[in-house]
Amino acid sequence: MRAGAHLSISHGLARTVEEAVRLGCDTLQIFSGNPRGWRRKIINPAEAEEFRLLCGRRGLDPVVVHTPYLINLAAVDQETFRKSLRAFAEDLERARLLGAGLFVTHMGYHRGEGMSAGIKKMARSLGELLKDRPPGGPRVLLENTATAGSSLGHSFPVIGEVMEKSGVADRLYLCLDTCHAFVAGYDVASAAGLDRALAEIGEFIGLEKLKLVHFNDSRFGLASGLDRHHHLGRGKIGLSGLRRIVRHRSLRSLPFIIETPKETPDADSRNLKVLRSLAKGKVRSRGPARKDAKRKAHRA
């Protein structure tokens, strides 16, 4: 397992690498610009090159770029749709410049047009964006999303259908977000639920397409539809569920990125420590860890 965190580039790309190194990351994820706006600053090619070199030297691999939240490749509104296509193409180019190996985008929303219209539109957008892409550059990953509603991303069969209909399925991959899957109704906190989710991915997408895990605990419960990431072991998935995910035979060789809250300066380093200890088997943490230990003791 390679472990990393989503980090801000607000203090410059070089500082972001320093922070990743300080945290002991093997991999990292960034937004290539403001995630909540359409306008992006132009990336200075020299700065991008320095970033690529630093990441290489520090062994940060893969570098993951996450698209801005505003992008909706199934948008009904023409203006939003046009902007989304352009923003996706520009961001993919920025990710290539930054030497990213993986490029993660959320699934779109059909906004009342209905699921099948949304699937068609999202598939067509991806096809147009990727069909003439030259080889090289980052892999494009579709991320499963949390909410039911008009989201196209909360169900693996739907993600699989979008890939298949896009005509560029061979260029599309999957990012599994544990919090999103859980609140969307996949009980990844239990052994049976995790197996079921992975079986669905296997059947409708292909497990070999899974290239990244967003490793987050969840503040809200199973099938709540509410997307609030929580510190590892302190949420509704809990330490024993998270441990099972990290050690799962189909997942353990993938890169794991935490997108957990950062309300204190040491939050990332603590969550990364939990992640590494779950992978290794030694778990020392507050609260849920002790409860787990007690439960085990009772059983024994």
Residues that bind Zn ion (CB under 5 A): 177, 214, 227
| Residue 222 CB partners (closer than 8 Å, separation 6+) | 182, 183, 185, 187, 189, 236
CB of 99 to Zn ion, least distance (A): 21
DSSP output for 272-298:
HHHHHHHHHS----STHHHHHHHHHHH
| Residue 112 CB partners (closer than 8 Å, separation 6+) | 76, 150
DSSP output for 224-272:
-----EE-TTTSSSHHHHHHHHHH-TTTTTSEEEE----SSTTHHHHHH
Token reading at 157:
């069969």
Q: Which is nearer to Zn ion, 16 or 260 (CB)?
A: 260
Q: Which is nearer to Zn ion, 197 or 289 (CB)?
A: 197
Residue nearest to Zn ion (CB): 214
CB of 21 to Zn ion, least distance (A): 23
Q: Which is nearer to Zn ion, 167 or 261 (CB)?
A: 261
CB of 66 to Zn ion, least distance (A): 8
CB of 168 to Zn ion, least distance (A): 22
Nearest CA to 69 among 123, 31, 23? 31
Q: Which is nearer to Zn ion, 63 or 289 (CB)?
A: 63
- Interatomic CA distance for residues 39 and 173, integer angstroms: 27
Q: Which is nearer to Zn ion, 227 or 292 (CB)?
A: 227
CB of 284 to Zn ion, least distance (A): 26
Q: Which is nearer to Zn ion, 214 or 243 (CB)?
A: 214
CB of 257 to Zn ion, least distance (A): 8
- Interatomic CA distance for residues 151 and 146, integer angstroms: 8
